[in-house]
Structure 1
Amino acid sequence: MTHLPNLITDLGLILVAAGITTLLFKWLKQPLVLGYIIAGLLVGPHTALFPTIIETENINIWAEIGVIFLLFSLGLEFSFKKLVKVGGASSIMALVEVVVMLLLGYVTGKILGWSTMDSIFLGGILSISSTTIIIRAFEELGVKSQRFAGLVFGVLIVEDLVAILLLVLLSTVAVSQQFAGAEMLEAVLKLAFFLLLWFLAGIFIIPTFLRKASKLLNDEMLLIISLGLCLLMVILAAQVGFSPALGAFIMGSILAETTKAEKIEHLVAPVKDLFGAIFFVSVGLLINPETLVTYAGPIALITVVTLAGKFLSITSGGLVAGQGLKTSIQSGMSVSQIGEFSFIIATLGLTLNVTSDFLYPVAVAVSAITTFTTPYMIRLSEPLYKSVEAMLPDKWKASLSEYSSGAQTISTTSDWRLVLRSYALNLVIYSVIIIGIVMLSARFVNPLITKNVVPGNLGDLLTTAVTLVFMAPFLWALAVYHPQKEAMGRIWANKNYRSLIIVLEFSRIVIAILFIGFLLHQFFSVQVAIVVGLVIVALLAVFSQKIQDFYIRIETRFMNNLNAREISDAAKMHHTLTPWDAHLTSFDVSPESAVAGKSLVELQIREVYGVNVAVIERGRRTITAPTRNERILPGDRIYVFGTDDQMETFRQLMEAEVELEMNGQHDKEDIRLQKLLVTAGSPLLHTTIREAGVREKTKGLIVGVEKNGRRILNPDSNLVFEEGDIVWIVGSPWRISKLEAARQENVS
C-alpha cells in the first residue's frame, strides 16, 4: 500500500472541512471568514467529533504562506497613491481611533490582570478594523455611495499602513521587552526609510520590466513573475529585519501602480483564496473551546470595549475633523470590529513567544462576535444619530454646525507653502535615494570589486567612481533642481525675501556636499576624502548639463511608470472611440475655466464648435453620453470628439478663464458657509428665493433656511422669506456682504 504523506492528508481534511462550513455560512449569509475559523475548530486537536489533523507544524508553514499572499493582495488593492489622496478627515479619524484603542486595549489587559506584553498586543489587536467585513457589509446594505462610506474607506486605507507600522513596533517591543524610546524611533525611521526606498526603486524598475516583457507575458508567466517578485521582496524584508508579511504588502502596493495590476489581482485571487483559507482554518486550529469558556468574562468585556471604543474614537475623530454629527456617528458605527490584521498581530505574538496562549483564541472570539454585530451597527447608526440629536442642547448643535461649516472652508495655497513643501519633499526623497546608493555600494559593490576586480585603494577608488555616477543626478536634483519655478520667481520678485531664498539655496548645496563626504568617508581617510571631494565637486560643476539631462530622463521614466495606469486607460479609450479622421481628446476642467459650472446646453458646444462631449470623468464616476443638461464641474475630465481644427477652437474656450471681479486679482476666493438674518430692512423680506436673486447677486447658493425653529435643507425656489428667518449661503464672504450693505441702505 502506497504511503500518503501526512501533509497531504491534513491538507485534504482542511479543505473539505472549509468547503462544507463555508457552503453553510454562504447559505446563512454570514462572512466566510467565520466559516473557515469554525472549520479549523472542528478538525483541530481540541475537538474529537471529527477526524483531526496530524502535523500542525506543517499547517503553520502553509498558514504563514497564506499571510504572505493575503497581504500581497491587500497591497494590490492599497496603492500608495490612494493613501496620498486620502483626505485629512479620514486620516485624523484613523489616527484618533488607533491611539484610543491602543490605550484602551492596554488598560483593559491590565484591569484583567494580564502581563504587560499581553496588554500591549491586545491594544494592537483592537486598533485595526476589518476591511473585508466592512466592504461586504456596505455592499449588502447598499450604502457604498453615501458620504460616510467614503470617509470609512479612507480610514481603512490609513489603518492598513498603521497596521504595517504596528507589526514593526510590536516586534521591536517584543524583542527589547520594554518601551525604549530610542529603539522605537529607530524602528519607525528605519521603516520609513526602507518603505520609501523600495517604493521609489520598485516604481522605477518593475513597470519598465513588465512593459518591455509584455509581448512575452501570458497569464501563466505573469502569475509566476508576480509571485516571484512577491517572495523576492519577502526575502529582502526578512534580511533587513522586518516581517515577511511587510515585504509582500510593499510588493503588492508597487504592482498596484502598474498597468498589469488588475490582471495580476485577478490571477493571484485563486492562490490568495487557497492559502488565505488555510490561514483562517489554522486560526481555528489553535482555539481550545475550554479556553473560550474559561475566558468568557474577558471576551465579553473586550467585545464591549471594542464596540464602544471604536464607535466613540471614530465619532470623536470625525467631529474634530469638522464632519457633521450624522456622518461621524455613521462612520463610528461602521468600523466597530476587528479582523484580518488582528489575527496577524495575534499570530506575531505567538511566533515571538511573548504572549500567553489564551490571547489568540480570545482575539478570535471577539472578532467573531463583532463581525456578527457589524451589519446591525450600521443599520442602527441613523436611528442613533436622531436620538443623540434630539438629546443635545440647541447651543451644542449650533456650535457643532458652526464648527463643521468652518472646517469646509476652501483656502488658498501660498507661494511660500508650495516652495517649502517642494524643498522638504525633495530633501527627503533624494536623501533616501543617495543614502541607499551609498549603503548598497559599501555593503555589496565594494567587496565585489576589491575581491574580484581591483584590490586595495584602487578598488576603493573604482567603487567611489561607480557610486558617484549613480549618485550624480540625485545630487544635482538635491542642490539645483527647482520643481516650483513659477512660485520661486514670484517670491524672488519681492526683494524682502531674497535673502531667505539665498539661505535655502546655500543650504541645499551644503547638504549635497555633506552627502559627498558621507560617500568618501566609507572608503578613505579624512585628508584623502577632502582632496577627492574637491575634485568631485569640480567634476559635477563641469558636467552639470549632462547630469541634468540624465536626471530629467530618470524623472520622466519614473513619472510615466507612476502614472502608467491612468495613461493606459486614456489610451484605450482613445483607441476604441476614434475610428475616423476625427479623434478623441481629453481636457481637464480647471476651477478658473470659463466652462466650469455650465451645462452643455448653455455652452452650445456642438452647435458652435462642432465637437461632441462623449464622456465626462468625475472622480471614480464615468458619465458616458452625457445629456444636454449635464453640467461640467471643476476637476472633471471631459473627452471630446472632433477634428484637429475643431479641437483647437474648443481648446481656446477650455483655456479661457472667467474674469474675476475682485479688483482684477487672480486669486482663489475664500468660500465659506455664511448665515444671513432676514430683518425688517432686508432686501430679502417677503420675496421668494427665485425673486431675491441671491445666486445672481452674490454667486452664492442658498443651502438651508431656519424658519420658526424649523430647518429646511435645500429649500424650494418658491419659499418666501419672512422676518427672523436665518438664511445659510455657500459663497464668498465679500460678495455676500453686498446683501448686508443693501440691508443697511434700506434701513437708513
Structure 2
Amino acid sequence: MAVSVLTTFATPFYIKSSDAAYRTIVRVLPQAILDSIDRRAQAEAKESSPSSKLWMGYIKRWAVKVGLIVLAAIASVEVLNAIAGPLLARFAPDFVAGYAIAGISILITSAFVSNLFHSVRSGRRNEFSVLWIKSRRNHLPLLALALFSTLVSIAAIVYIVHASNIGHTVWPYLFAVLASVLLARSKSVHSSFLRIETRFIRNLNENIIAERRESLSDEEHVHWVEKHLYVTRVETSRMLQAKPRPLSPESMLKIVGQSTLPGESQHSAGFLFGMAHGLDLIAIERDGRRIAGDTLARLSKPDLLRRIGDAEDPLCVREGDVLTFVGTEDEVDSYLQHLLKDNVIDEDKALGESLEDYLASSPSSPDITCFSFVIEAKSAFVGRTIANIDFKSAYGSLVVAIEHNLLLRMKPSRNTRLAAGDRIWLIGESGLAGNLINAADAEVIDRGTPEGVVAQTDGPLGQGDR
C-alpha cells in the first residue's frame, strides 16, 4: 500500500521531469554510447519492418528450394544407378541405361527447378516480384540470388549427366540443360509437382499441426481451420467458351474422373469446376447475388455436376457466373495453375484468400458460415462415418476438418468414423448450422451397431461428399 501511494503521487512528477531528464542524460553520456544506442534502435526497427520480414521469409524459402534441387539431383541419380543400373545392364547397353537414368533424374530435378522459378504461386504474386517492385535497392541482391539459383540448377543437371556416364562430349550436357529448361517452364510439370507436394505436405504436417494445436488457446484453435482453408472465386465466361455448350452429364462425370469421351478436351469441365483438384463448390453468383444457396449446399457431387451441365436446369452454369470454391491452399494452387495453363483466366485474376478473410469481406458470404462442435459421448454421431451421416443432403453442410486425439486432418475421407471427443468443422448455410448441432447433441439410449454403417469406397470424384 505504501509503494502504491508513493508511485501514485510521484508519477506526475516523473512525467513532468522526463524531458529534462532525457536532455541531461544525453548531455552527460559519451557520444560513443549514444551512437551505439542509436544503431541498436535502428537495427531493431529495421528487423521489425515489413520489408525485413518479407526478405527473411523469401530467403528461407529460397534456401529450402535450392537445397531440394541439389538433393533431388544427387538422390535420384545415385539411387537409380544403384538399383536400376544393374537391372538395365542385363537387357540394354550401358549407354542406353545411362541415358534412361539421366532422363528420369532430369525429369525429377526439373520439377524442383520449376518450383523455384515459377512466377505465380498460391494465387498471388510471389515474393520476388513484391521485393523487386518495393525498392530499387532490392534489385541487385535479387538478381544475385536468381543467378546463383540458375548456376546451382545447371550444376545439378551437369552432375546428373556426369554421374550417368553419358557425358563423353559436350552435347549431352547441352541437351540435358535444354531439356531441363523446357521441363521447368512447363506448367504441366509444375502442376504435377504441386499435386505431389500437396500429398507429401499433408502427411508431413499432421504431427506438426498436433504440436501446434497444444500451444493454441481455445479461441485460436476454433478459428485455425478458417485461417488454413482457402477460397477462390472464378468468373466463367472464358471457361465456357473453351468448350461448346451444353455439356452432357456423362461428359461432366467422366472428365471430373480425369477421363474423356472420344473427341472431348481434357481441359474443360473437370478443371473448370475444380472437382478433380479436391475443391468444393460452395456458391454460385449470378448478376451479383447468390443463387440456390440451400439447394447447392445439399447436392452431392454427382447431382451437382448433372445439374450444372443441364442447360434446362436453373443451376446450369452460364457465362458471367462467378463460382466460389473452397479447399486447402495447395488444392487452390493446383486448380489455378490448370486454369492458367489453359488460358482460361489471367494471372492477375488467379487469386486466393483464406476462408477467414472471405467470410469477413465477401458481400455474399453472410449466408455461409464455418462452424465447429465437439461430439459428446452420448451424441447420435458417435461410431458413424461421415458418409453414413450424409452431412451434405441431410444438413446442407460440408465437412472440412476433423480433430481426433489432437491430430487435425483437413478434408477428411468420407469413410472417417467419428468418435466421442472429436471436434468437427463444417461449412454450410448459416440457417442450417443450428439444426446440425442439435442433431449432434441428440442422445442415443441404445446405440448398438449404427445402422447403415458400411464401408464405402470413394468413387471417381475423389473423396466424395463429406
Give the greater-gyration-radius structure (CA). 1
The alignment's TM-score, normalised by the length of structure 2, stands at 0.34
Give the strand-richer structure, 1 or 2.
2
Greater RCO, CA 8 A, separation 6+: 2
Judging by fraction of residues, say which structure has more helix. 1
